[in-house]
Amino acid sequence: MARRRGCTLTEGAAGCILNRLGWRSPYYLERIAADACGRVNPDRTVDTDSANLAMERLLELDKRLYWASWREHLDRNFTDPDRARLYLVLETVAKTDDGANVSLLPGVLNQRGKPIAELTLRDLANTLLADGYLVLSSDGRYQFMMHLLREWWLRYVVLCNRLAPLVAK
């Protein structure tokens, strides 16, 4: 994608993008390449710093439309209490650098009142796995499939959910 724009990615930049992005979504790879190549130095080489800056810019508020479909999918296709539970699972997973252990989720979800059945929890987790939000690691930890989505979720969903009650006062 960078080559089509007349740019070259250093090996470090390519590794940086793949590690930070996580899931190799062509859509997001294209957005990163467009930004990085649009701001490169005269030799048209994208280095690690340029790649990281492009990903930071992708997470800025004015790029929220690039990420809106993730929230819209949950809001459009699920009703409460399932929608609230899905958001809570994603918040819990997002807050941990190495993912949330499967055994952590029942305790988090049961704090909200009525205990959640194991089958319901499994259905919620399977929904988030099937819809591309999460993956289950070999050691039984739920993690965001796309690392940049995790970063965005922390910045704009978790933080906004925490601030909403304060703003309402």
Structure confidence by residue, pLDDT tens digits, 119-139: 888 899 999 999 999 999 999
Tens of pLDDT, residue by residue over 11-33, are 999 999 999 999 889 999 999 98
Measured from the Cβ of residue 68, the count of other Cβ atoms closer than 10 Å reads 12
Which amino acid does the sequence have at 30?
E
At a CB cut-off of 8 Å and minimum separation 6, what does 44 contact?
Answer: 6, 7, 8, 37
Q: Which two tokens stand for residue 93?
A: 């997973």
Tens of pLDDT, residue by residue over 27-69, are 999 999 889 888 776 677 888 999 999 999 999 999 988 999 9
What is the pLDDT averaged over residues 131-151? 94
Asked if residue 166 has pLDDT above 50, the reply is: no
Q: Tokens 């978790």 appear where? A: 158
